[in-house]
Amino acid sequence: MAGVELKNLSKSYGDVEVLHDINLSIADGEFVVFVGPSGCGKSTLLRMIAGLEEVTGGDLLIGEKRANDLSPRQRDIAMVFQSYALYPQMTVAENMGFSLSLEKRSKKEIAEKVQEAADALKLGPFLNRKPGQLSGGQRQRVAIGRAIVRNPQVFLLDEPLSNLDAALRSETRVEISELHQRMGVTMIYVTHDQVEAMTMADRIVVLNGGYIEQVGSPMDLYNHPATEFVAGFIGSPKMNFIKGRYAVAAGTTTLGVRPEHLTIGEGDDTWEGKVTLVERLGHDTILYVRVPDAGILTVSLNGQHNQNVGDTVRLRPNPDFIHRFDDQGKPNAADLVQGQG
Amino acid sequence: MGRWVLLFILGVIAILMVSPLVLTVFTSLKPTTELVNPPWYPPISLTFEHYVRVWTEGGFSRYFFNTLLISVVDAIVMIVIASLAAYAMVFMEFRGKLVLQVLFLIGLMIPVTAIVLPLFQIVRSFGLLNTHLGVIFADLALAVSIFVFMFSSFFMGVPKALHEAARIDGATEFQIYRRVVMPIATPAVVTTALLEFLWSWNDLLLRLLLMTKDEMRTLSVGLLNFQGTMTRDVTGLSSGTVIMAIPVVLLFLFFQRHFVRGMTAGAVK
């Protein structure tokens, strides 16, 4: 096992730089998730660590060894691809044992290691099947098994759940987290799904436009977003951003309030608006409320509520959880302001 | 109504296509006495005497071996060369790749007949006239471009992630080629084998040019023996043609499914 260190790492295609001055230290055994919108550079960064993309600037260290010029095979890493990338002509067992066969390990050793991984992933009954005869979830487990068998220093996962349906995705999410706890190996996971990032990561790296916006634990990012972008990206439903008179009254450019920090209430410190849409999820009720001068605000109410479209409601922001951002999208301070009525 | 018209047109085309083959088979099986009948008359009493004569006295047993040897070697070597070149073109980055691609493209554009004389000089300068090797080299050089493009179009359909996964697994480029990419390239391999075999089997020009000794001749050149300036051995020519056609027809029937898949590879996603 090993940690990974990125020092002033950058990536250019010709004259176009797509990743800028990335500095990050990933500890041995840590589960780090790269998250960000499409095109932010998270997959490119992962592929640079894997050795599939050339590093054009800075240093990449794996286990304190400079890895910039090492081929993927010399880096002792394993990777799980979004498309599974299983060899279609090989059986599950052959897929999982392929890397070991390349290392010229004995057939007995390969069979033992494959069986061990297959048992851990409940793939035992499928070892003689070809990938085409498996479901999406089974294929994904084979791809994970192929990585486990190698016992790598670093485990890389590139959006491994995005081809699975919602139920299977949450199931596999748990399995990957358990796997990390069991193996204790360094894992770097790329996703655009902030729920995956929040639920699995020890630390999240939020990328935007080729820059790191913020690095921190899931709760750090949720409670103390370093930028307006992070505030909007982390949390579901996403944070409400309010400009105009309410923001000016609070002495800032933009106010940020998470939907779960808005409640229905009365009094001067509330904002009046009209319900435009209601989503009833059973455990939560999501209201979309048009507030004059603030736009449409999302409100997440715990439990079941009886508001309907067209109702007038008054929203009270929880004063302990209001974020203020300046015109650069940076927080004014770690301050909390009283909502204005 | 439209369907019947279409069937009629297709039927006429089919008859036009098949009739030369049928007439050839009829003629090859007729005793000499029946040759006075019109050619579309089926043989009344079947005989294989012309086949025996062509095979033994006509030297076709030797020609058949020569043709088979050249065609099989052509096909096998072509698969190896073209697939390796295409693999490099599709999966690897190297200096001069674009130049090489342009050269292959030029190779597609130049007709054999335009370079027959320089080709003859080159083969002679290597001392390979009247050798199987000379013809094999010429065959490979002249057709390699088209098969590189065929393999390239097939390889482009192979997900890049497969290649990357194999690199991560620790495979070298040659191991990826041999163990990951080629096992799934069966349609392209079969198509290349069939087409190269067929072209080599049927080619007349290069064999006539590069192999003048009788013991080196191939079937296509051997057929010319039955045709003089003033006379023509129709039964010998017909049975020789059938002997020459049978292996190719059998190969196509056997590998038809793979062949069609190979020809259309890369056409759609």
- Angle between helix B186-202 and B132-156 (nearest 10): 150
Last residue of a domain, one of A208, A228, A248: A228
- Angle between helix B132-156 and B60-91 (nearest 10): 40
Distance CA A160, CA A144 (A): 9
Q: Which of A81, A113, A157 is best to mutate for the B interface (most B CBs within 10 A)?
A: A81
- In this predicted structure, the answer to whether residue A335 has a pLDDT above a threshold of 70 is no
Nearest to A52 among B164, B169, B183 (CB): B164
Last residue of a domain, one of A207, A228, A249: A228
CB contacts, 8 Å: B166 with chain A: 87, 98
Check whether residue A198 and residue A290 sit in a common domain: no
Q: Does A285 fall in a domain?
A: yes
CATH number at residue A321: 2.40.50.140
- Token pair recorded at residue A64: 């304190």
Q: Which of A83, A90, A94, A98 is best to mutate for the B interface (most B CBs within 10 A)?
A: A98
**Residue A51 Cα, gap to closest chain B Cα (Å):** 8
pLDDT tens-digit readout, A167-176: 888 888 998 9
**Residue B181 Cα, gap to closest chain A Cα (Å):** 9
User: What's the rounded mean pLDDT across residues A86-111?
Assistant: 94
Q: Which of B91, B94, B168 is best to mutate for the A interface (most A CBs within 10 A)?
A: B168
Chain B residue whose CA is closest to A155: B168
Domain ranges within chain B, ordered by starting residue: 70-264
ipTM of the complex: 0.84
Q: Into how many domains does chain A fold?
A: 2
* DSSP 8-state assignment for residue B43: P
Chain B residue whose CA is closest to A149: B169
Last residue of a domain, one of A228, A257, A278: A228
Q: How far is CA B55 from CA A109, B34, B62, B219, B237, in A?
A: 58, 22, 8, 11, 12
Distance CA A80, CA B198 (A): 44
CB contacts, 8 Å: B170 with chain A: 72-73, 99, 102-103
**Residue A213 Cα, gap to closest chain B Cα (Å):** 29
CATH number at residue A186: 3.40.50.300
Chain B residue whose CA is closest to A99: B169
Q: Is A83 on the interface with B (CB under 8 A)?
A: yes
Nearest to B162 among A85, A103, A150 (CB): A85
Partner B, chain A 44-73, Cβ-Cβ below 8 Å:
50-52, 71-73
* DSSP 8-state assignment for residue B33: G
Chain B residue whose CA is closest to A144: B165
Residue A214 is inside which H or E element, if any? strand A211-216
- Asked if A102 and B165 come within 8 Å (Cβ–Cβ), the reply is no
pLDDT tens-digit readout, B37-72: 888 888 988 899 999 999 998 899 999 999 999 999
Check whether residue A40 and residue A182 sit in a common domain: yes
**Residue A52 Cα, gap to closest chain B Cα (Å):** 7
Check whether residue A100 and residue A180 sit in a common domain: yes
Distance CA A215, CA A204 (A): 6
- Asked if A102 and B164 come within 8 Å (Cβ–Cβ), the reply is no
pLDDT tens-digit readout, B228-245: 777 788 999 999 999 999
Chain A residue whose CA is closest to B165: A85
Q: Which fold has domain B70-264?
A: MetI-like fold (1.10.3720)
- Edge-to-edge strand list for the sheet holding A322-325: A240-242, A254-257, A322-325
- Asked if B159 and A85 come within 8 Å (Cβ–Cβ), the reply is yes
Q: Is A79 on the interface with B (CB under 8 A)?
A: yes
Q: Does A14 fall in a domain?
A: yes
Check whether residue A316 and residue A200 sit in a common domain: no
Check whether residue A124 and residue A199 sit in a common domain: yes
Q: Is A290 on the interface with B (CB under 8 A)?
A: no
Check whether residue A14 and residue A70 sit in a common domain: yes
Q: Does A341 fall in a domain?
A: no
CB contacts, 8 Å: B183 with chain A: 89
User: What's the rounded mean pLDDT across residues A216-220?
Assistant: 95
Contact assessment for residue A88 and residue A130, using Cβ atoms and an 8 Å cutoff: yes
- Token pair recorded at residue B83: 């697939």
pLDDT tens-digit readout, A272-288: 999 999 999 999 999 99
- Edge-to-edge strand list for the sheet holding A4-13: A16-26, A4-13, A57-62, A65-66
Check whether residue A138 and residue A283 sit in a common domain: no
- Asked if A79 and B171 come within 8 Å (Cβ–Cβ), the reply is no
Distance CA A287, CA A314 (A): 12
Question: What is the span of the domain harbouring residue A244?
Answer: 237-325
pLDDT at residue A172, as a whole number:
87
Check whether residue A97 and residue A196 sit in a common domain: yes
Check whether residue A45 and residue A194 sit in a common domain: yes
Chain B residue whose CA is closest to A72: B168
pLDDT tens-digit readout, B192-212: 999 999 999 999 999 999 998
**Residue B179 Cα, gap to closest chain A Cα (Å):** 9
For A34, residues 6+ apart whose C-beta sits below 8 A from its C-beta are A42, A45, A46, A188, A189, A190, A191, A205, A207
Distance CA B4, CA A55 (A): 66
Check whether residue A248 and residue A221 sit in a common domain: no
pLDDT at residue B258, as a whole number:
73
Q: Does A311 fall in a domain?
A: yes
pLDDT at residue B264, as a whole number:
55
CB contacts, 8 Å: A89 with chain B: 183-184
Interface A-B: count of C-beta contacts within 8 A: 55
Chain A residue whose CA is closest to B175: A102
Q: How far is CA A93 from CA A39, A80, B56, in A?
A: 35, 16, 55
- In this predicted structure, the answer to whether residue A339 has a pLDDT above a threshold of 60 is no
Residue B216 is inside which H or E element, if any? none
Chain A residue whose CA is closest to B168: A72
Task: Quote helix, strand, coil % in chain B, to nearest 5.
Answer: 80, 0, 20
Check whether residue A32 and residue A169 sit in a common domain: yes
pLDDT tens-digit readout, A101-122: 999 999 999 999 999 999 988 8
Banded model confidence at residue A332, pLDDT cuts 50, 70, 90 = confident
